[in-house]
Each structure stands twice: as C-alpha cells, then as structure tokens.
C-alpha cells in the first residue's frame, strides 16, 4: 500500500524534474508527506531527490555552468543546512504550517511581486530558497528566480538547476540522517526507488531534448502554476 503509490509519485516527479530542471518537490514532498507523515515525508523526499539529482548532473554534465552557478549553489547549501536543522528540532505541526506557508509565499512572489523579485539579487533568492527547502521540503519558485538571474540558455539553466538541487538536497539529507530522523521502515521506499530513478531521468532528458523553447517555457511556468495549485490540496 505504501510502495506502489510512492513509486508512481517518484517516477512522475523525477521525470518532471529532469525535463524542466526543477519541480521534483512539487509532487514528491506532498506525496511522501501524505504517505509517511510530514517530517518523514520531507526527509525521505530530500534523500530521494538527492539521488535523482546525482543522475541529473550526470545526464547534463556537459551543460553545467559551474563558474556561473557556484555562488548560488553555496548560498543554497547554507540556507538548506539552517532550514533542515530547524525542521529536525521543531514539532511536526510546525512543519505542516511551514509547508503551507511556503506555498503561499511562492504564490505571492510569483504573481504579486515577480518584477521586484527579478530585480532582487540571486544571493537573497538562493539563500532563502535553501532555507525554505530545508525547513518545508520545497523552495517554491525562489530557486528558479535565483537561477534565471544568471541569464543562461535552456540547457545550461537545467544543468545549473540540477547542480543546485543536488547540493541543497544532499545538505538537507545529511542533516536528517545525522539526526536519526528517517525511520528504518521508510528506507524501504528508497531501496524500491533505485531502479525507477534512472528510467525517470532518461525519460525527462528525452522530453527536454524533443520540446522547443516555447514548449520548455510553458513547462517551466506549469511548474510554477503547479506550486500555486498545490496550495488548495495541502
């Protein structure tokens, strides 16, 4: 009852993430939180997304702009470490509230303050994306805002997003594992997910290569809209 819906959510979220460069947490965090509970769901999602992003980095290794993205990556890691440490120490009800609040802030930032956020520095966006991701499991559109400020073409944007996501997710996962937050029974989901990960990443990479710039832009904004729609289902 737990494994089958988990694997379906994992495949869909990883395919989306490999196609758009981001959006894996859009499906995986609420799915895992529903199946395993908020804290377990956020922790397992971080571990799974970290593994997924290892494969994404391999798949997009030729278009990762290390120099352009390094500051964003480091700041996202710093924010994720602080946010994950807070999540481990607070009651689960607080995590529920933080997940809902992060979606509301994502909605406001995208549709009410987008012009202002586009002018804001990538430093602010990257740090708070990591902070939000570490505490609630999702950075919403803030990571996208930080990466879009680098003015990269589509393939390099996906490469930078894969690298940034990998750094943030591994940072969070290391904090969760070190704090013994992940229960032994939850590791079964991880083991079952291992053969699903490469298939989903390859599928997502194929989608990315086949679609045009206009379709990719539509996909990117679909992810943003998805974060907003999820407000009504949390």
Per-residue pLDDT of the chain (234 residues; tens, 9 = 90+): 678 888 898 999 999 888 887 778 778 888 888 888 877 888 888 889 888 889 889 988 999 999 988 988 999 899 889 888 887 777 756 665 665 665 565 555 555 555 554 555 556 778 877 887 787 777 666 677 778 777 788 889 889 988 988 898 889 888 888 887 788 878 888 888 899 999 999 998 898 888 888 888 788 777 766 665 655 555
The confidence score (pLDDT) of residue 65 equals 92
User: 210 Cβ partners below 8 Å, 6+ apart?
Assistant: none
Q: What is the dihedral of CA 146, 148, 152, 153, to 10 degrees?
A: 150
Q: Are 216 and 158 in contact (CB under 8 A)?
A: no
Among 43, 16, 9, CA closest to 133: 43
Q: Are 85 and 175 in contact (CB under 8 A)?
A: yes
Q: What CA–CA distances, in Å, run from 28 to 24, 80, 138?
A: 6, 18, 10
Distance, in Å, from the CA atom of 26 to the CA atom of 16, rounded to the nearest integer, reads 9
Q: Answer whether 0.75 is exceeded by the pTM.
A: no
Q: Are 197 and 52 in contact (CB under 8 A)?
A: yes
Beta strands in the chain (DSSP E): none
The confidence score (pLDDT) of residue 199 equals 93
């Amino acid at each position: 009852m737990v494994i089958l819906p988990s694997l379906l959510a994992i495949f869909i979220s990883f395919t989306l993430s490999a196609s758009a460069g981001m959006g894996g947490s859009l499906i995986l965090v609420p799915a895992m939180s529903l199946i395993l509970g908020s804290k377990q769901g956020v922790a397992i999602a971080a571990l799974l997304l970290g593994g997924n992003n290892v494969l994404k980095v391999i798949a997009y290794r030729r278009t990762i702009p290390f120099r352009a993205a390094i500051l964003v990556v480091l700041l996202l890691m710093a924010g994720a470490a602080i946010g994950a440490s807070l999540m481990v120490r607070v009651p689960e009800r607080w995590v529920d509230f933080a997940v809902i609040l992060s979606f509301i802030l994502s909605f406001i930032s995208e549709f009410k303050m987008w012009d202002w956020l586009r002018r804001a520095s990538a430093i602010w966006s990257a740090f708070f994306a990591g902070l939000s991701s570490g505490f609630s499991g999702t950075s919403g559109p803030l990571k996208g805002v930080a990466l879009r400020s680098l003015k990269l073409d589509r393939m390099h944007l996906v490469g930078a997003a894969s690298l940034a996501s990998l750094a943030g997710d591994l940072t969070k996962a290391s904090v969760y594992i070190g704090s013994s937050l992940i229960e032994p029974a939850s590791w079964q989901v991880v083991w079952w997910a291992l053969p699903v990960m490469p298939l989903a990443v390859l599928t997502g990479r194929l989608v990315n290569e086949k679609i045009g710039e206009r379709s990719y832009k539509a996909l990117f904004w679909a992810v943003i809209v998805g974060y907003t729609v999820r407000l009504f289902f949390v």
